[in-house]
Structure 1
Amino acid sequence: MKNKHSFIGSSVALITPMFDDGVVDYDALNQLIDFHIDAGTTAIVSVGTTGESATVGVKEHLKIIDHTIKYSSQRIPIIAGTGANSTSEAIDLTKEAKRLGADACLLVTPYYNKPTQEGLFQHFKSIAESVAIDQLLYNVPGRTAVNMTVETTARLAEIDNIIGIKDATGDLSVIKQLVKKCPEDFLLLTGDDATAVDFLISGGHGGISVTANIVPKELQKVYLAAISGQSDKAIELNSKIYKLHKNLFIESNPIPVKWALHKMGKCGKGIRLPLLELSNEFKSIIERDLEELNLA
């Protein structure tokens, strides 16, 4: 494969743990990194959507990435979230992530300004040409208000250091088209937990998961079974955690997953405005899921 790191299997879209006042809790972050290394998680995505990239400042964003890289000490690959709706800002963040020692970068489609397909192509092409680091595209139209087509993705897949895509459309017709139109060595990663097994059975190579924050070891078993063609086993294993896939999005991510990790004793309740702690009406749902899995 053209990429240095294969990222096959289950990678985690890691939360950024915070104290009640919103200050980053680096001790809790260390414990979460160890948790994923021990569980056999494929890679950690630092400061992606789940890591509250929208509400950390640029210096803080890079500090969290730097800390994650240094503490992990090459025990697990680190993918830095460096996307932005400004191409120049995305280039700057990606350059810094490379300097800090990230193994790859995850770049979301520009949000809010709604570029054309040619604009998306030129945006990602410019970043790839500006920074010699492995790069993963990230298509999540439910958050960005722009959908990158399979045709645009296939064009970008021809660029050497654009190594794959995290597809969070939840549309299983997309993975089938990506398999047909992208090079064999282009990584196809799911970003939608609810449809992940079907995505992997259809030809995907892995995923970047919110659910992996809670059950990393169990989810890795699901993913590896699906990738290896053991569909029945993957479906059976996934059925035990399927409610989590749904309920971790009962309010906007990362609200439910941060509450779940708090109930598991892995971090405080801190989350930054405009997001709030999980609504009281939903807490019992998450707590019930954790109890059924003997996690709380």
Structure 2
Amino acid sequence: MSAFLKGTGVALATPFKNDGSIDFDGVESLVEFCVNGGVEYLVVLGTTAESVTLSKEEKKSLVEHIVAVNDKRLPLVIGIGGNNTAAILQEIENTELSAFDAILSVVPMYNRPSQEGIYQHFKIINDQSPLPVLLYNVPSRTGTNMTAETTLKLAQLDKIVGIKEATGDFTQVLKILKDRPKDFLVISGDDALALPAVVAGGDGVISVIGQGFPEEFSKMIRFGLSGETKQAFEILYKLLPILDYAFEEGNPAGIKNILKNKGVCGDHLRLPLISVSTSLANKIKDYIKNNE
């Protein structure tokens, strides 16, 4: 039921205007760029969307616009997570989910629950979610690593269909791949490790850089999934410099500057995030110019 999550999903950035309001024309341009670039699905209201700076009304408007522009062409995943379990359940209940195929929910941040606390948090989301749930483990942001053992325990629950694994610890990825249930998806949340994870048996990626280079990145992952590793790694090695640049001064500052250079949308961010430095902007500009 969750086969659509195989391949390349992209965690969409949120374009903003000079005054900080949502640039809905930019949103449309970005969605079209990704759809036409051949990615398999879109992820809405993830970390890259600067979702923590969006009001409830802005989230609703942004979701409605993306749903309308996408027009059922690609599957959609929506990010609904946080560190207040009760509030997440209420948000799931109050969100119009009819256009979405799954929920992406992050390990609770800041309050740093134990492994059993993480399990109980996701278990109640599993029990009450009307949609399949994709776990998201990103300890660099949350302050807590969900262990492979906890992930595999959660994988036994009926609504939890996979994990976006972004520990940067490849051994942990391998542990999950080794003992996962048959239909449990292991999706990379690390762009640079996505292809190695796929070659090891993973199912794809939810990517940041994939929205800047949708054609190249999704082609690379498809090569990896089909066992054509030589062609896949040729693409990865070509993309390695821009992968570094995309995250050198934080996400989504890097990818927004890439999208600006590609003519997709502007690169404005909301505080406390700021645009990339002039030196990094020049490196990104030079890379794109030399690889067009």
Pairing 1:66-215 to 2, within 5 Å after superposition = 66-215=64-213
Shift of 1:61: 1.9
| 1:44 maps onto 2:23 in alignment | no
Q: Which residue of the partner structure matches residue 273 of structure 1?
A: 271
Does the aligned pair in 2 maintain the 1:80–1:97 contact within 8 Å? Answer: no
Q: Which residue of the partner structure matches residue 257 of structure 1?
A: 255
Structure 2 residue runs without a partner (length 5+):
none
The whole-number CA distance in structure 2 between the counterparts of 1:99 and 1:182 is 28
Does the aligned pair in 2 maintain the 1:21–1:270 contact within 8 Å? Answer: no
Shift of 1:23: 0.6
The whole-number CA distance in structure 1 between the counterparts of 2:177 and 2:247 is 27
Partner SS, residue 99 of structure 1: coil
Partner SS, residue 232 of structure 2: helix
Shift of 1:112: 0.5
The percentage of aligned residue pairs carrying the same residue is 37
Of 285-294 and 117-126, deviating more is 285-294
Residue identity opposite 1:219 in structure 2 = F
Shift of 1:62: 2.8
Structure 1 residues 25 and 156: CA distance shift in structure 2, 3 A:
same
More helix by proportion, 1 or 2? 2
Of 111-120 and 100-109, deviating more is 100-109
Find the partner of 1:6 among 4, 7, 26: 4
Shift of 1:97: 4.0
The whole-number CA distance in structure 2 between the counterparts of 1:266 and 1:96 is 32
Does the aligned pair in 2 maintain the 1:20–1:269 contact within 8 Å? Answer: no
| 1:24 maps onto 2:22 in alignment | yes
Does the aligned pair in 1 maintain the 2:104–2:135 contact within 8 Å? Answer: yes
The whole-number CA distance in structure 1 between the counterparts of 2:199 and 2:156 is 24
Q: Deviations over 1:176-199 (max 9, x none)?
A: 111122112011100101111111
The whole-number CA distance in structure 2 between the counterparts of 1:101 and 1:125 is 24
Task: Tell me the matched-pair count.
Answer: 292
Q: Deviations over 1:121-178 (max 9, x none)?
A: 1111111111220110000001110000011111111111111100011211112111
Structure 1 residue runs without a partner (length 5+):
none
Partner SS, residue 194 of structure 2: helix
TM-score calculated relative to the size of structure 1: 0.95
Q: Which residue of the partner structure matches residue 288 of structure 1?
A: 286
Q: Which residue of the partner structure matches residue 53 of structure 2?
A: 55
Residue identity opposite 1:95 in structure 2 = E
Residue identity opposite 2:35 in structure 1 = I
Structure 1 residues 157 and 181: CA distance shift in structure 2, 3 A:
same
